Amino acid sequence: MSISNKILKLIRKSEKLSIGMQLSPAMFWIVFFLLIPLGILVIYSFWEMVGTRLIPVWDLRNYVDVFTRVGGMYIRLFVKSLAMSALVTVGSIALAYPVAYFVSLRIEKYKYTWLILLMGPYLVCWVILVLGWKMVIGYSGLLNYLGQLLGLISEPMSWMWNNWWAVVFILIMGWAPWLVLPMFVSLEKIDKSLLEAAADLGAKPMKRFLRITLPLSSPGLLVATFFVLIPTFGEFVTPALAGGSRGVMYGNAIDASFTSMMAWPFGSALSIFLMIISLIVATILIRIVGLEKLMESL
Amino acid sequence: MEKKDVVLENVTKKFGDFVAVDDISFSVKRGEFFSLLGPSGCGKTTTLRMLAGLEKPTKGKIYIGEEDVSEVAPFERPCNLFFQNVALFPHMNVSENIAFGLEMKKLPKSEIEKRVKELLDVVGLPGFEKRRTKELSGGQVQRIGIARALARRPRVLLLDEPLGPLDLKLREEMMIELKRIQKVVGTTFVYVTHDQGEAITMSDEIAAMKEGRIIQIGSTEELYNKPRTAFVAEFIGRSNLIRGRYREGKVNLNNLNKSIITGPHKVADNDYVAVCIKPERISIGEDIANLDNVFEAVIEEVYFRGAQINYKVLMEGNYKISILEHYKGKIFEQGKKLKIGWEKEDVHLSET
């Protein structure tokens, strides 16, 4: 018997080993592309960078810097970004929920065709999406052009572009179609006879919505929150393209520390701090919904 | 005159070209347990949903408690529906479920609490206020559903196959329970079922439905003993049916050159009829010559059920006959040739 046969036999005998072997491609992927880079990031966050050289000093100065550098500018930027992502979350849910509600409860034919059509915007990449909005609400965009043409405004409105609200607006527009999906799933799961029962017990349409539909679709709402809140925390493409100097977000600060500032350890600390806060928020959300319900709605 | 809680006048319901309910009329007396009985697709559930206001009749009028409700929205009707799947609100506990309809009425909190407690007593589940709906057993879910539906003191409670999802034992328990609750609260019940056992056990009156029409309305005993048509006879009490032509107190059989003595009936001579004989009215034995009607038969199947024995026999003329006999310590074996018979008084003539 050859050695390879012996090894194969050994693997077949040990259940743990065989499961491990089966999982190994996935494990490899996670270890090499997630855990190792993350580990490097953690290590860097305790180092120092002088010029282009990384020096292992092993202290917490970068984390202190997160709170104190430039008079606490970074932590204020963080809070601002948090507020912006919260606003984006609320805005995109407010936009998407009625759509999900309509598709789920009012449309009978071609429900899924409508859902697929909603995914249309994702056929173009995010950068094009942002620049597309620039053509609509930018300084020389469609709205300003039409406004001037119709004599509604005498000169282009500059408040629509290059500031934080442009960033929030575009993020809302970009995220809303995605959110229709989890909320649709949640609404679809509601047994329609519950609404009939509520009607039978004297509940008018608005009461039925508030007492039955809304609470029962809350898992979808929380999944949606999860979907938007966490990724928009670290958003940097949209503010870079549409935010100007007033629309900078925390993600841009991280970006800058790794590029123009040449401060990798500080950037690492910023990233780790963001990750910790995201983890806390995620944990709270999962606690509220329950992991099982969350997975069901995905 | 007795008060009517439900009156339907020439009600028709069409879904596109399909006629689900075809020009039916009936009324239900106050405090009565009324069943709509029929196979699936006979229009009984549609009738109930029209009463509840979840469907609009295409034609005809519906009155509940002397009020024309044809144009009244479901949430304003003086009736409540008990749903087939109960449909308890999963995100509310038991007392919140029962209180829902009362809150919609904007009753004061203290009154709601009192009523919830009262209803839990009625359905035999006192102290269940804070239970989650997930923690309830099948029978408990049903009881809470009934409590919720009765909370607003409806004139009429509509029940749509409420016992369908339950297993046999629980179903029998709930039948007795439902009837008890109905007597305690005195509410008029309109009950939809395809199960003749349920209908017979609980109802004061039954309407047998087929293909959107009512075939017969009457007391349970009436429908059991005097089915108007062969359909009703087969559906209720599983009668034996032997088809033939009536003539002067006799029915000449189709398959056999013999006749069944029926005595005089209100049937025109030469009319085709179905002779309907209940399984428990037929005698079986080797020596039963003194009965009005006696035929040769062979036992095909024997089912011993403890207190009763069910024989499936093949009577001369190739008629399959079911016989139910009390067990008195003697069982005939399969394949045995013997005689079966019945008196002319045990015969009822139905339309074929």
- Could you give the ipTM of this predicted complex? 0.77
Query: Residue for token digits 């960033």?
Result: A167
- CB-based contact B81 A212, cutoff 8 Å: no
A194 closest CB neighbour out of B81, B87, B151? B87
CA distance to partner chain A, nearest, from residue B10 (Å): 24
- CB-based contact B100 A198, cutoff 8 Å: yes
- pLDDT exceeds 60 at position A242: yes
pLDDT on residue A44: 94
Asked if B274 and B233 touch (Cβ cutoff 8 Å), the reply is yes
3-state helix, strand and coil shares in percent for chain B, rounded to the nearest 5: 25, 35, 35
Task: Output the six-digit token pair for B235.
Answer: 């559906």
Largest Cα separation within chain B, whole Å, is 76
Q: For B200-214, what is each residue's pLDDT tens digit?
A: 999 999 999 999 999
B239, B177, B198: which is closest to B37 by C-alpha? B198
Q: For B20-46, what is each residue's pLDDT tens digit?
A: 999 999 999 999 999 999 998 899 999
The pLDDT of B111-120, averaged and rounded, is 94
Give the best-scoring range by mean pLDDT among A93-97, A149-153, B64-68, B69-73: A93-97
Q: How confident is the model at residue A293 (pLDDT cuts 50, 70, 90)?
A: low
- CB-based contact A201 B151, cutoff 8 Å: yes
B249 φ, ψ (degrees, to nearest 5): 75, 15
CB hemisphere CA count around A152 (13 angstroms): 9
Cβ-based contacts of B100 with chain A (< 8 Å) = 198, 201, 203, 211
What is the full DSSP assignment across B220-257? HHHHHHS-SBHHHHHHSTT-EEEEEEEETTEEEESSSS
The pLDDT of A257-279, averaged and rounded, is 93
CA distance to partner chain B, nearest, from residue A94 (Å): 23
- pLDDT exceeds 70 at position A297: no
- CB-based contact B89 A194, cutoff 8 Å: yes
CA distance to partner chain B, nearest, from residue A293 (Å): 14
Domains of chain A: 71-297 (1.10.3720.10)
pLDDT on residue B239: 86
A201 closest CB neighbour out of B85, B91, B152? B152
Residue from B83, B97, B142 to probe the interface with A (highest A Cβ count within 10 Å): B83
Angle among Cα A230, A232, A237 to the nearest 5 degrees reads 140
Q: For B129-154, what is each residue's pLDDT tens digit?
A: 999 998 898 889 999 999 999 999 99
A203 closest CB neighbour out of B52, B104, B151? B104
Cβ-based contacts of B85 with chain A (< 8 Å) = 191, 193
Closest residue in B to A205 (Cα) is B75
**Averaged pLDDT score across all residues of chain A:** 88
pLDDT on residue A298: 55
Residue from A190, A194, A200, A213 to probe the interface with B (highest B Cβ count within 10 Å): A200
Asked if B97 and B133 touch (Cβ cutoff 8 Å), the reply is yes
Asked whether the whole model's pTM tops 0.80, one would answer no
pLDDT on residue B249: 83
Q: How confident is the model at residue B225 (pLDDT cuts 50, 70, 90)?
A: confident
A183 φ, ψ (degrees, to nearest 5): -75, -35
Residues of B in CB contact (< 8 Å) with A are 52, 54, 74-76, 80-81, 83-85, 87, 89-91, 100-101, 104-105, 148-149, 151-152
The pLDDT of B268-284, averaged and rounded, is 89
- CB-based contact A196 B101, cutoff 8 Å: no
**Averaged pLDDT score across all residues of chain B:** 90
Task: Output the six-digit token pair for A286.
Answer: 């999962």
- CB-based contact A202 B76, cutoff 8 Å: yes
- pLDDT exceeds 70 at position B3: yes
Angle among Cα A108, B74, A111 to the nearest 5 degrees reads 10
Q: How confident is the model at residue A1 (pLDDT cuts 50, 70, 90)?
A: low
Cβ-based contacts of B149 with chain A (< 8 Å) = 200-201
- CB-based contact A201 B54, cutoff 8 Å: no
What is the full DSSP assignment across A80-145? HHHHHHHHHHHHHHHHHHHHHHIIIII--SSHHHHHHHHTGGGGS-HHHHHHHHHHHHSTTSHHHH
- pLDDT exceeds 90 at position A230: no
- pLDDT exceeds 70 at position A78: yes
Q: For A99-135, what is each residue's pLDDT tens digit?
A: 999 999 888 888 889 888 888 888 888 999 999 999 9
- pLDDT exceeds 70 at position A295: no
Domains of chain B: 4-225 (3.40.50.300), 238-351 (2.40.50.140)
Q: For A160-214, what is each residue's pLDDT tens digit?
A: 888 899 999 999 999 999 899 889 988 999 998 999 899 889 899 999 999 999 9
